[in-house]
Amino acid sequence: MKIKTAFFCQNCGYESAKWTGKCPSCGQWNTFVEEKVQKDIPLRNTNWQPEKENGRSDNIVNLSEVSGIEEDRLLTPDAELNRVLGGGIVPGSLVLVGGEPGIGKSTLFLQNALQLKDITTLYISGEESAQQIKMRADRLQVKNDLFYLLTETSTQTIFQEIKKLRPQLVIVDSIQTLQSPFIESAPGSVSQIRETTAEMQRFAKESHTPVFLIGHITKDGSIAGPKILEHMVDTVLQFEGDQHYAYRILRTIKNRFGSTAELGIYEMTGAGLRQVTNPSEILISQREDQLSGVAIAATMEGMRPMLVEVQALVTQSVYGTPQRTVTGFDLRRLQLLLAVLEKRGGFHFGVKDVFLNIAGGIRVEDPSIDLAVLCALLSSYEDAAISSKICFAGEVGLSGEIRAVNRIEQRIAEAEKLGFEKIFISRYNKKGTDVSKFNIEVVPVGRVDEVYRSLF
């Protein structure tokens, strides 16, 4: 039998009969690799005749006839994972989890599987031996009699074992190690990843068994394999963190069963991952001295309010071109805020070096952090400290106005809970918000110059 080969784009999974320098689908250069393919798919008997008297087949269903019953979700003991998944694990869902090597993906899902005492779980490992997983389980100090291990990479063997065990939850570590007998290419190749994921998808949907696929990521931080992989699964989670910090962040990139704005925070300890129920405790540094260039922002990640510390340093520029350096914040957004201060406030940032950092290594994209960034910049510019009992929540517009932000009452309540005495919000947020029920002083401001006069 003649072996068939094709060329696949490693970035998007585009298939071509010959090698080409630039992918016509995603536009990337030098991403095509040659792989063996064997399409041994039997021809299906297609009957075009209607099977019912009304001219409709059994497979076609009217939308009004479909029952809209909400399926019961499987709640894990991990509240952070439940939040990120949109309220628990959905039966029949296919979840892809990506993260850097050594970040704690295997530990997180081994820990969660062991904590599900009443659920039969099958943990399929293609990278580690049973002894290695046993060592990690001993370190976690959690015992579960319904937890089963399978160290195998062939999908044919895996599904034979699944038929015998009939698990209620399947975890695959990792999808790049699996190999389908229907594809000739090596494990980890584009066609193998696509085929093995498709087989797992069919199993999950037909048996209503939730499946978690742990995947590798590339140098640029995206999940390894073709982009089509992310379209095939129901949920994509990104497990990220800085090697220099003890905590990890579980972020939703795609979710067919809930919001994509949710965030789960964990702390890595010797006995596994600990849930961080109050993220503000790790995002605000404990300091005794009043220092300039520091402001606290009340932000939201999904439904969760968080207080983060914004640090700014403004110094005289030594070189001809002033530097703009940011960590955890959008550089273009910083340049916009500096332009607003220059134009609307008359502050000469054009001759200053500006360094901005979100403390704790977290990245914030909520526009409500604008006001805190602006106040931190002004504090460093004037070398005047802002009280550690004051926080901010507001978006800054191009004309220098302070714009309203969403869920303001939750932000105020979080600031009050953490012992803050004053919070600056947009004047337009005060309409429709009952601030009298809070024991924290709420200061409404409308423009940048009002904020400056109130603080300095």
What is the structure's pLDDT at 45?
Answer: 39
- Beta bridge mates, 212: 95, 171
Per-residue pLDDT, averaged over 44-58, amounts to: 48
pLDDT at 449: 92
Distance of CA 200 to the CA centre of its chain: 22
Q: pLDDT band for position 318 (50/70/90)? A: confident
Does 4 carry a binding-site annotation? no
Between 243 and 189, where is the model more confident?
Answer: 189
How many other CB atoms sit within 10 Å of the CB of residue 80?
A: 24
Does the 281-455 domain belong in CATH 3.40.50.300? no
Tell me how far apart the alpha carbons of residues 367 and 115 are, in angstroms, rounded to a whole number.
Answer: 38
- The reply, when asked if residue 301 is annotated as ligand binding, is no
Per residue in 285-301, pLDDT (tens digit) is: 766 678 899 999 999 98
Q: What is the average pLDDT across 196-210?
A: 93
CATH architecture of the domain formed by 72-277: 3-Layer(aba) Sandwich (3.40)
Does the reported pTM lie above 0.95? no
Q: Which two tokens stand for residue 158?
A: 């895996």
More confident residue, 245 or 96: 96
Q: What is the pLDDT of residues 429-452, one digit of tens each?
A: 877 777 788 899 999 999 999 999
191: annotated binding-site residue? no
CA 163 vs. chain centroid, Å, equals 33
> What single-letter DSSP state applies at residue 419?
T
The closest alpha carbon to 376, from 328, 446, 430, belongs to 328
Res 42 pLDDT > 70: no
What pLDDT score was predicted for residue 46? 35
pLDDT of residue 49: 40
Q: Is 412 annotated among the ligand-binding residues?
A: no
Is 397 annotated in some ligand binding site? no
- Which are the contacts of 454, defined by CB distance < 8 A and separation ≥ 6? 424, 443, 445
**Domain boundary assignment for the chain:** 4-37, 72-277, 281-455
Mean pLDDT is highest, among 111-125, 208-222, 419-433, for 111-125
pLDDT at site 40 = 52
Residue 180 annotated as binding? no
pLDDT digits (tens, 9 = 90+) for 104-158: 899 999 999 999 999 999 999 998 999 999 999 999 999 999 999 999 999 999 9
105 known member of a binding site: yes
What kind and span of H or E run contains 356? Answer: strand 352-358
